[in-house]
Amino acid sequence: MADDAIWADEEAFWVLGAAEAGRRLDPACVMAFPQTGILQGQQILEALSRAPRWQAVDMTARHSAEGEGVVVIGYHAVARRADGEVYRAYCTSTWIRRGEDWRLIQHQQSPAGL
């Protein structure tokens, strides 16, 4: 199973401010969202700075696969904003080791419905 630090970083990516989330991004990161499409690099940082952040996220049905310097995780997310908005999605993320740190290099979300 993926190291607890990866899961903590994944949760932090959802709930921390855009600047802090950006510190976890690999410059080559690719993300795919149902609302905005495919984003890469600087586009991700710009989108994060415009979007309201999530107040909390519950990640269940956790799965992971590990290799040399890479961890792929998949999970069901239920995220909540301060205004009560709830978002449900199936997500995958790929984390890559860069020196001593882990960086997010891929993230994808598919709506999970109600």
Question: Domain holding 82: CATH number?
Answer: 3.10.450.50
Tokens encoding 30: 């690719």
pLDDT of residue 36: 87
pTM score above 0.85: yes
Domain range spanning residue 104?
A: 4-111
The structural domain count of the chain equals 1
pLDDT of residue 1: 43
Q: Name every residue whose Cβ is closer than 8 Å to that of residue 30 and which is 6 or more positions away in sequence.
A: 38, 39, 40, 105, 106, 107
pLDDT of residue 114: 57
Q: Which residue ranges of the chain lie beneath pLDDT 50?
A: 1
pLDDT of residue 92: 98
Tokens encoding 89: 């999605």
